[in-house]
Chains A and B, each alone.
Chain A
Amino acid sequence: ETGVTQSPTHLIKTRGQQVTLRCSSQSGHNTVSWYQQALGQGPQFIFQYYREEENGRGNFPPRFSGLQFPNYSSELNVNALELDDSALYLCASSLDPTGGDYGYTFGSGTRLTVV
């Protein structure tokens, strides 16, 4: 059991640029969710992927997109970055879309700063 790892840990981008954040899920977890946590706020659900298909999405625009790969890794892509995209981005994996008996395992996050 290696847990959930995210990379990079910190990132600075310029407004208008594109960014890719990466997540390696816990082994055997076929579901991954992404959350955005603005400073001083609780995490907000972006979307969830189950067996490489998106199966749930929060109130985020289409410029937020994702991919999930067969090796339990996943990506969050954000196009046309805006200043308000500055946040901690959290990846969470689980054994199934409901979280199952053991819930979701969160990574430590990627701190994105848009300048």
Chain B
Amino acid sequence: GDSVTQMEGPVTLSEEAFLTINCTYTATGYPSLFWYVQYPGEGLQLLLKATKADDKGSNKGFEATYRKETTSFHLEKGSVQVSDSAVYFCALRGTGFQKLVFGTGTRLLVSP
């Protein structure tokens, strides 16, 4: 079945450092790919998405490119802020079905 694998956390960075959170997936067909963010005590918020190969999703300085050849969707940000501290989930929505399949999440901690 479809699955998503994320790098384990926590990822600890200083403010203004470069961020990469790795995400790879297994799916049949052409899934849509998502990054969601979860702040403490809150639900999930859609951060960005890409629906086809080579698409780049971007939002709030975060970017991720849909790489079908490597089945990856790595999240990057050039300069993180303390307010980016949260748990980040990579997810896919498979072809022909509605559910989201999530990775286990990666906690990001940014210190001043």
Q: Which residues of A contact B (CB under 8 A)?
A: 4, 31, 33, 35, 40-45, 48, 55-56, 58, 90, 92, 97-99, 103-104, 106-109
Contacts and interface: CB of A to CB of B under 8 A. Distances in A.
B41 interface: yes
B93 A99 contact: yes
14 contacts: A40-B105, A42-B89, A42-B102, A44-B102, A56-B97, A56-B98, A90-B43, A99-B93, A99-B98, A103-B34, A103-B46, A104-B46, A106-B43, A108-B43
B98 to A, nearest CB: 4
Nearest to A4: B43
B101 interface: yes
Interface of B: 4, 32, 34, 36, 41-46, 49, 89, 91, 93, 97-105
B44 A98 contact: no
Nearest to B49: A103
Contacts of B98: 31, 33, 48, 55-56, 97-99
Given A98-B93, A103-B34, A45 B43 contact: no
Kindly list the 4 A-B residue pairs having the minimum CB-CB distance in the complex, ordered from nearest. A42-B102, A106-B43, A45-B99, A106-B44
A42 B106 CA distance: 10
Contacts of A40: 104-105
B45 A106 contact: yes
